[in-house]
Amino acid sequence: MEYVREAPRVPVYFTGLLLCLALIGIGTGIMDVAVPVLKGDELFAPLKRAVELFGYPYLFLHIFLHNLGIACLVPGIGLIAAHMERNPRLRAVIGPILSVAVVVSILTGAFWVVQSGAYAQGVIVLFFALEAAGVLLLTFAGLRAMRGYVPTPAPGWSLHTPAHRIAPYFLASSIVLGIAAYLEVLYILNAGA
Protein backbone atom coordinates (compact mmCIF):
# COMPACT_ATOMS: atom_id res chain seq x y z
CA MET A 1 0.00 0.00 0.00
CA GLU A 2 1.40 3.35 -1.03
CA TYR A 3 1.40 6.21 1.51
CA VAL A 4 0.42 9.62 0.12
CA ARG A 5 1.54 12.49 2.30
CA GLU A 6 -1.18 15.02 3.05
CA ALA A 7 -0.61 18.68 2.16
CA PRO A 8 0.44 20.80 5.16
CA ARG A 9 -2.30 22.93 6.67
CA VAL A 10 -0.19 25.49 8.55
CA PRO A 11 0.71 27.54 5.41
CA VAL A 12 -2.98 27.81 4.55
CA TYR A 13 -3.86 28.91 8.10
CA PHE A 14 -0.97 31.39 8.13
CA THR A 15 -2.05 32.87 4.79
CA GLY A 16 -5.60 33.08 6.14
CA LEU A 17 -4.28 34.99 9.16
CA LEU A 18 -2.43 37.39 6.86
CA LEU A 19 -5.62 37.88 4.82
CA CYS A 20 -7.71 38.59 7.95
CA LEU A 21 -5.14 41.08 9.23
CA ALA A 22 -5.11 42.81 5.82
CA LEU A 23 -8.89 43.16 5.91
CA ILE A 24 -8.70 44.57 9.46
CA GLY A 25 -6.08 47.08 8.29
CA ILE A 26 -8.28 48.19 5.40
CA GLY A 27 -11.35 48.36 7.65
CA THR A 28 -9.67 50.48 10.31
CA GLY A 29 -8.37 52.84 7.62
CA ILE A 30 -11.87 53.23 6.23
CA MET A 31 -13.29 53.89 9.70
CA ASP A 32 -10.55 56.42 10.54
CA VAL A 33 -10.56 58.44 7.32
CA ALA A 34 -13.27 57.57 4.78
CA VAL A 35 -16.30 57.41 7.08
CA PRO A 36 -15.56 60.73 8.85
CA VAL A 37 -14.95 62.45 5.50
CA LEU A 38 -18.24 61.14 4.10
CA LYS A 39 -20.11 62.22 7.26
CA GLY A 40 -18.43 65.63 7.34
CA ASP A 41 -16.82 64.79 10.68
CA GLU A 42 -13.20 65.34 11.69
CA LEU A 43 -10.66 62.63 10.84
CA PHE A 44 -10.28 59.86 13.43
CA ALA A 45 -13.56 60.88 15.16
CA PRO A 46 -14.79 57.26 15.55
CA LEU A 47 -11.37 56.27 16.96
CA LYS A 48 -11.46 59.12 19.48
CA ARG A 49 -14.93 58.07 20.64
CA ALA A 50 -13.82 54.45 20.95
CA VAL A 51 -10.76 55.46 22.99
CA GLU A 52 -12.99 57.47 25.32
CA LEU A 53 -15.16 54.39 25.74
CA PHE A 54 -12.52 51.62 25.94
CA GLY A 55 -9.37 53.47 26.99
CA TYR A 56 -5.79 53.53 25.77
CA PRO A 57 -5.30 49.75 25.45
CA TYR A 58 -7.85 49.97 22.64
CA LEU A 59 -5.81 52.74 21.01
CA PHE A 60 -2.69 50.55 21.14
CA LEU A 61 -4.56 47.61 19.62
CA HIS A 62 -6.11 49.82 16.94
CA ILE A 63 -2.79 51.38 15.89
CA PHE A 64 -1.00 48.02 15.94
CA LEU A 65 -3.65 46.11 13.98
CA HIS A 66 -4.09 48.90 11.44
CA ASN A 67 -0.37 49.09 10.65
CA LEU A 68 0.10 45.31 10.69
CA GLY A 69 -2.95 44.94 8.46
CA ILE A 70 -1.56 47.37 5.90
CA ALA A 71 1.73 45.44 6.03
CA CYS A 72 -0.18 42.20 5.33
CA LEU A 73 -1.79 43.47 2.11
CA VAL A 74 0.85 42.01 -0.19
CA PRO A 75 1.44 38.65 1.52
CA GLY A 76 -2.19 38.14 2.58
CA ILE A 77 -4.36 39.33 -0.27
CA GLY A 78 -1.52 38.90 -2.77
CA LEU A 79 -0.94 35.19 -2.11
CA ILE A 80 -4.67 34.42 -2.18
CA ALA A 81 -5.12 36.36 -5.43
CA ALA A 82 -2.01 34.76 -6.97
CA HIS A 83 -3.28 31.32 -6.02
CA MET A 84 -6.61 31.98 -7.75
CA GLU A 85 -5.13 33.58 -10.88
CA ARG A 86 -4.24 31.06 -13.60
CA ASN A 87 -2.53 33.43 -16.04
CA PRO A 88 1.18 33.70 -15.07
CA ARG A 89 1.54 37.20 -16.53
CA LEU A 90 -1.37 38.51 -14.51
CA ARG A 91 -0.13 36.65 -11.44
CA ALA A 92 3.18 38.52 -11.74
CA VAL A 93 1.55 41.97 -11.42
CA ILE A 94 -0.57 41.28 -8.33
CA GLY A 95 2.28 41.93 -5.87
CA PRO A 96 3.45 45.20 -7.45
CA ILE A 97 -0.11 46.54 -7.64
CA LEU A 98 -0.69 45.80 -3.95
CA SER A 99 2.71 47.31 -3.12
CA VAL A 100 1.61 50.55 -4.75
CA ALA A 101 -1.49 50.46 -2.53
CA VAL A 102 0.75 50.09 0.54
CA VAL A 103 2.96 52.99 -0.55
CA VAL A 104 -0.13 55.16 -1.20
CA SER A 105 -1.36 54.28 2.29
CA ILE A 106 1.98 55.35 3.79
CA LEU A 107 1.95 58.57 1.73
CA THR A 108 -1.59 59.27 2.97
CA GLY A 109 -0.30 58.98 6.53
CA ALA A 110 2.63 61.26 5.69
CA PHE A 111 0.22 63.79 4.17
CA TRP A 112 -1.83 63.77 7.36
CA VAL A 113 1.30 64.26 9.52
CA VAL A 114 2.35 67.26 7.39
CA GLN A 115 -1.15 68.73 7.10
CA SER A 116 -1.85 68.48 10.84
CA GLY A 117 1.40 70.21 11.73
CA ALA A 118 2.40 67.26 13.90
CA TYR A 119 5.75 67.09 12.09
CA ALA A 120 6.84 70.10 14.16
CA GLN A 121 7.13 67.61 17.01
CA GLY A 122 10.11 65.55 15.86
CA VAL A 123 9.00 62.51 17.84
CA ILE A 124 5.89 62.14 15.63
CA VAL A 125 8.15 61.86 12.58
CA LEU A 126 10.15 59.18 14.41
CA PHE A 127 6.98 57.18 15.16
CA PHE A 128 5.84 57.52 11.57
CA ALA A 129 9.23 56.40 10.23
CA LEU A 130 9.20 53.38 12.56
CA GLU A 131 5.69 52.44 11.42
CA ALA A 132 6.60 52.88 7.75
CA ALA A 133 9.70 50.71 8.20
CA GLY A 134 7.66 47.95 9.86
CA VAL A 135 5.04 48.06 7.10
CA LEU A 136 7.56 48.08 4.24
CA LEU A 137 9.57 45.23 5.81
CA LEU A 138 6.66 42.81 5.46
CA THR A 139 5.54 44.29 2.14
CA PHE A 140 8.89 43.65 0.47
CA ALA A 141 9.14 40.19 2.04
CA GLY A 142 5.73 39.41 0.55
CA LEU A 143 6.85 40.67 -2.84
CA ARG A 144 9.94 38.47 -2.77
CA ALA A 145 7.94 35.43 -1.65
CA MET A 146 5.42 35.91 -4.46
CA ARG A 147 8.08 36.01 -7.16
CA GLY A 148 7.76 32.84 -9.21
CA TYR A 149 4.73 31.60 -7.25
CA VAL A 150 3.01 28.67 -8.95
CA PRO A 151 -0.32 27.48 -7.54
CA THR A 152 -1.01 23.76 -7.13
CA PRO A 153 -4.36 22.02 -6.63
CA ALA A 154 -3.46 21.51 -2.95
CA PRO A 155 -2.88 25.02 -1.58
CA GLY A 156 -0.85 23.70 1.34
CA TRP A 157 1.95 22.64 -1.00
CA SER A 158 2.07 25.79 -3.12
CA LEU A 159 1.86 28.11 -0.08
CA HIS A 160 4.49 26.17 1.87
CA THR A 161 7.57 27.99 0.53
CA PRO A 162 6.10 31.53 0.50
CA ALA A 163 4.76 31.10 4.05
CA HIS A 164 8.17 29.98 5.31
CA ARG A 165 9.82 32.93 3.58
CA ILE A 166 7.34 35.42 5.02
CA ALA A 167 7.07 34.12 8.61
CA PRO A 168 10.33 35.60 10.01
CA TYR A 169 9.54 38.98 8.44
CA PHE A 170 6.01 38.80 9.83
CA LEU A 171 7.46 38.31 13.31
CA ALA A 172 10.01 41.14 12.86
CA SER A 173 7.38 43.48 11.44
CA SER A 174 5.00 42.65 14.29
CA ILE A 175 7.70 43.50 16.84
CA VAL A 176 8.62 46.80 15.15
CA LEU A 177 4.97 47.83 14.77
CA GLY A 178 4.17 46.78 18.34
CA ILE A 179 7.02 48.92 19.68
CA ALA A 180 5.94 51.85 17.50
CA ALA A 181 2.31 51.60 18.68
CA TYR A 182 3.40 51.30 22.32
CA LEU A 183 5.68 54.36 22.08
CA GLU A 184 2.96 56.32 20.31
CA VAL A 185 0.38 55.56 23.00
CA LEU A 186 2.92 56.42 25.73
CA TYR A 187 3.61 59.74 24.01
CA ILE A 188 -0.14 60.49 23.78
CA LEU A 189 -0.60 59.62 27.45
CA ASN A 190 2.29 61.85 28.52
CA ALA A 191 1.21 64.70 26.24
CA GLY A 192 -2.33 64.52 27.65
CA ALA A 193 -1.14 64.45 31.26
pLDDT in tens, 26-72: 999 999 988 998 999 888 889 999 999 999 999 999 999 999 999 99
Predicted confidence at residue 50, as pLDDT, reads 93
What letters, b where the CB count within 10 A reaches 16 and e where it falls short, cover 139-171?
A: bebbbbbbeebebeeebbbbbbebbebbbebbe
Contact status, residue 75 vs residue 18, Cβ threshold 8 Å: yes
Mean pLDDT confidence for 118-137: 86
Mean pLDDT confidence for 111-118: 77
State yes or no: pLDDT of 83 exceeds 60: yes
DSSP line for 150-187: ---SSHHHHTHHHHHHHHHHHHHHHHHHHHHHHHHHHH
pTM: 0.89
